[in-house]
Structure 1
Amino acid sequence: MKNVFFPLAIVGLLVIGCSKDDEQMIPIFPSVINESKLVTTSNTSGKISYTNLLASNPETKNLTITSTDADGAYYDSSKDEFILASRTNNRLELYKGVSSSVKNNTDNVSLQFSSTASEFNNPREIFVVKDKVVVTQDQNAANGNTNKFLVYQKTTSSFTLLNSYTLNFKVWGIHIDGTTLYAIADLTGDVVVFNDFFSNADGAITPTKRVTIEGLIRTHGITFSKTDNRMILTDVGSAASDVDGGLIVINNFSNVIANTSNGGTVALADQIRIYGPNSKLGNPVDVAYDNVTNKIYVAERLNAGGQVLTFALPTSTADATPEKSVLEPGVSSVYLIRK
């Protein structure tokens, strides 16, 4: 999934003080609050995880939810809201209590509300834009082998289905930048683009553009940083292999995609790649990126039963070793919030 970046949050107002002795105007400057948190979901553990990356010794806190199998993490620290797509219950679920559980070292998150069950089946990703939540439905027998995007409106107490779109490709990860939705076409090395996504009427929709990433076997994870114009994709390769996964970084992405025709190919020359046994990448199913620290966070589903891998942003293609690996059984999605 994903990364959301906010400019440094400025707390307080610029106050001008006046001394009784000399009546000199004294500026009182606001303080700056930094925030960097990483959250994940799992397909197997019935847990979500939370890590404060700015702590002197970051520790991962695991918290119990009602869904054993979940995907698509999103966390809003200002409201202490954790949203995910439950694959156990086939619905969106919103939890609260993450911050208090971490602060008090308890395991006490609570389900506040959910979407109506059965509006989708086999969800793989979510993306939140203001009060909209977009869900991807991956085809399976239970949903009639139908790939979909579903758009929900979130209020303080409910999720309401606004739009449902059927797709002509097998879907997994998505990223939304403004009104443009980027998605991967599962079982291929393709990225698809939908301009003015939210203006579509219900029903079948087709991409504005579809391009192939040269050398990429099977895409899953996708994230885009507008700040530095950088796209990052994951390659799971063969689902059964624990050594053929990879990361692909495309710098200057807006120009690269604009200069690639519909149906065209993004060449290897436009990519920086991490592949090889040192990388521990077998089935990297999701990715997040911090453009302040230039760190890449990967949900690696296969190796060691699931782990979150941290990489430095590569400047050249290599078999890079992760800077850090944290065991997280069944990890299925990763989300970064940076303020």
Structure 2
Amino acid sequence: MNTKNILVLGMIGIFALTSCSDDDSDDMMQEEVSANLYATSHANGDVTRYNLTTNSVTTISTSASDAEGIYYSPDDDSFTLASRGMTQTSLQTYVGISDIITATINLTVDISSQPVLQNPRDLAVNGNFYVVADSQNANAGRFFVFEKSNGSLTLSRTITTDFSVWGIEFIGNDLYAVVDNTNELAVFTNFLSSNTADATVSASKRIAIEGIGRTHGIAFDGGTLIMSDIAAASGPGADTDGGFHVITNFMSKFNAVANGGTLAVGQQIRYAGAATMMGNPVNVEYDAASDTVYVAELANGGGRVLAFGNVSTAGGGNATPAINNSLSGVSSLYFYRG
């Protein structure tokens, strides 16, 4: 891994000190806030943790040989990843992550689901329910819904839909999903309560995002939605033709577009161009507090973790990333601060 930009990464992602006042005193109490970025890889089952508070990096070897989709839970200080290995197609949870301070460590899985996954692409969590987007083919996808309870991950139901899936994100109780092989975004309203058993369902609404060629990654925080554009997946220039879109005031803009309609590119901010080093940005994370987008870039240089600051005010365009760290086969990211 290229670690020359780790300190800069920390400066962008860190949340220094927050202050609160005492009603009985003018004294100010300060509390340190931690921030971590977790990254998975197709090259192996390793999870790379960038501690943005201490400016350190930890490589955590897991029982998976390939992973895509990750989530950190503060409830039991664990991360859960979707394993894509030939014989390990399951959700895997590793507990007690914050105590790890060594640069490299091997972990044994603490909780594993049934091996039902086939082609997992992303993971979204709502309460105790872990939803895996699993792509079957160009015209069909599935959402495997697991319940995490009493030290187990149990398959609750499988929801099949009529499009290939990739990135997913809960906004409240609604599940937003990118429509792979297109520039479209779909929503399944009240996803968990409306789909309590195995079923085949269509999205509640689908719209096109003008300016995107083919979308993959999605992230939401503080009212702003980020969607990535991988453009051409292969061929000449495929390692520099990607980008991402910033959609501020997302809910009002999405609600204003009719089902089957298009969200105009003029209502978005697009970052793209050779200087961005984005060709195949398969996954994105967004932190509204620092207005920073983190990108899992798979094609350029064999894999990079990129970061762009002030994305809602910088105006977009062919921007140079503030962070450029090599990570072979990077497949997904999860940002957590607390």
Instruction: Provide the residue aligned with 1:107 in structure 2.
Output: 105
Instruction: Provide the residue aligned with 1:167 in structure 2.
Output: 161
Instruction: Provide the residue aligned with 2:220 in structure 1.
Output: 224
Distance 1:338 1:67, change over 3 A: same
Does the CA-based 8 Å contact 2:245-2:268 persist in structure 1? yes
In structure 1, which of residues 219, 239, 247 is the aligned counterpart of residue 233 of structure 2? Answer: 239
Q: For residues 1-339 of structure 1, what are the structure 2 equivalents within 5 Å?
A: 31-55=30-54, 58-77=55-74, 79-88=76-85, 89-101=88-100, 103-117=101-115, 119-140=116-137, 146-199=140-193, 200-201=195-196, 202-225=198-221, 227=222, 229-240=223-234, 241-314=238-311, 315=313, 316-339=315-338
Write the deviation string for residues 26-55 of structure 1: whole angstroms up to 9, x where unpaired: 899765241211001111122111011122
SS of residue paired to 2:266? helix
Distance 1:111 1:317, change over 3 A: same
Letter in 1 for 2:49: Y
Instruction: Provide the residue aligned with 1:21 in structure 2.
Output: none
TM norm structure 2: 0.87
Structure 2: unaligned runs, 5 residues or longer: 1-14
Write the deviation string for residues 221-241 of structure 1: whole angstroms up to 9, x where unpaired: 00111x2x1110000011111
Q: How many residues align?
A: 313
Percent sequence identity over aligned pairs: 38
Letter in 1 for 2:219: T
Distance 1:327 1:156, change over 3 A: farther
SS of residue paired to 1:183? strand
Shift of 1:294: 1.1
Letter in 1 for 2:89: N
Shift of 1:110: 2.3
Rg (Cα) greater in structure: 1
How well do the aligned residues superpose, as a CA RMSD in angstroms? 2.3
Structure 1: unaligned runs, 5 residues or longer: 1-5, 17-24
Does the CA-based 8 Å contact 1:122-1:140 persist in structure 2? no
Write the deviation string for residues 238-284 of structure 1: whole angstroms up to 9, x where unpaired: 11110110110111111111110000000011110011000000000
CA distance in 2, matches of 1:106, 1:282: 29
CA distance in 2, matches of 1:326, 1:290: 18
Q: Which runs of 4+ in 1 moved over 4 A?
A: 8-11, 25-31
